[in-house]
Structure 1
Amino acid sequence: MLESCPVTHDVPTLVLSLLLCTGLVISYLPQHLRIINANTSEGFSPWYLLLGATSSASGMLNLLIVQWPLFRCCRVISAGRCFESLLGFYQVTLQWLLFTIILVLYLAYFPKHLKYQRVMPLEPNAQTYGAITENAQADGTNARPRVTVATTPEWRLAVTLGIVVFLHLSLLFLLSISLLLILPSTTPPHPFLRYLATFLGVSGTLLAVLQYAPQIHRTYHSKLVGALSLGTMAIQVPGSVLFVLSLVFRPGTDWTSWLAYAVTGGMQGALLVICLLWKRRQRSLGIDDFGRPVNPMDGSTERESLLTDAQD
């Protein structure tokens, strides 16, 4: 085993990985704080969060499999050398964790006006509005149907997608760990492990391609930035280049390990451009990121301008 373990100390790659881990935390913090400070997650597409969480989870598990020999090397090498060799896995895991926190905050700060709706059941025996029904009261007044409060389809969809994310991670993690512990550790890896790693890498890439499509569609048609953080995207778009390069030069990785992150970096750049255009539009209309007038005294004028522009 010792012969296949890393023995060189790659200082540039070590420094790059440490900087990327620090940059990941710094880049995601503005997004986390923006949702918390605004007390709303309005503007996010639940499909974007679902695809992003599953894509990053697939990438994390892919790296777990392809770098499993490095985990086994930690039995015979020093703790410092073990930490250095697994930094690529740590940064991918950190990226998955920080993105998943956005999903948790999305559910925790889901806007209340989009979470509940009032439902008034129809009276089947009523011929016209206000007609006396079989449930008419004794004093001759109409028995009005009771108004109930129910959750909206959008909130139910968000909760369902959150459950899907949990099941996706749980099942694939258990499958990966089981195969890694049961199958013999060989070089090259066992065919089942190669197939699983390829499946995770390819599926992660496909999910990454689809990830930004619903968010770009939602942001483009709403013509509002919403709870999206421009600061986070401004840091992550150029940072994705370094992120991909750090994985390319990591031992044990292949194209299935870094392609998904290259794709997401490009699509996130497109989303950033759209948000910058809408930010400029909001400033000209005098509205904030959620469509509310910045100056309440001019609310009616700004609202009319917004409606006119939306009709065009």
Structure 2
Amino acid sequence: MPRAALWLVLIGMLGWAACDQVEPVRFTPEYVVESYQIAGEPLQPVWLTRTLPIEAVYVPDSVRVRGAQVRIALLDEQGMPERWYPYEEHPDSPGYYVPVPLVREARVRPLRTYRLEARMPDGTLLTAETTVPDTFRVLGANLDSVRYQSEVRLELIMTRSEYPGRQAVYIITTEALEPTEENLTPFGRALYEDSTFTLEELRVSGSPILNEANYTELPDGTLRLQLPWLAVLFYGPNRVTISALDDNLYDLIRTQSVQQGGSTLSPGEIPAVLEHVEGGRGVFGSYARVQYTFVVAR
């Protein structure tokens, strides 16, 4: 997804969505971070940008933060750095920071807390922390190929993800591996023809936040997930991804959905989007994921 563009649009709208303004508020640029760490996978990149006023035209090169000092720490049980992972700016992508070669293959540890520190060229320090959800597994599925809108739907049996202090929460995404116009399902074609969605925008579809009440709990403690047909927009091979969210992503997505109209609150009662970042805006989050590929037949 267009990460930086998404955040700049979102943040530019917050002042209008959260409350009524009597007088215009003078715009002050803020730093924006975006990074998603994945349990059991190598350390992920960090994007650094600046916000734009709502009337400005988004030009990527004008908002990317060059020359920042970025590092991530693995914290111990007392919240102190156990190990630092330094980052460097990618030579071909300003504002895009990746782990230095020495730590590039370091794996993100589940149920551990990581701290991001990004020192901006003007001295501003941006910090954030994330506690990584536990990994989980797909144990089996009822089929590898399914006919579209048949009575039998794809069902996955999976173990639970764990998270400190609360039950796990998930989102589900379905990615078409052959997203051509000829492969659009009837529902996908309706979206494509009746809106401004492109094939690339329809290629990945996502669910709202789900918790374990949305699944069937089996006697052995595992979960059974049944994929809804509304999540399938293309015939052919599709990859379904189930992601367990940390608190930062959970808070961001659920409060963002309220901003976008997913609430019965009146305009004056709509809360601000929750961001757990000091010294700036954005998200430094983490998740654990499992994936399964299946075929949707006509």
What range describes the TM-score normalised by the shorter chain of this pair? under 0.3
TM-score (norm 2): 0.24
The structure with higher relative contact order (CA 8 Å, sep 6+) is 1
TM-score (norm 1): 0.23
Radius of gyration: which is bigger?
1
Q: Which has the higher helix share?
A: 1
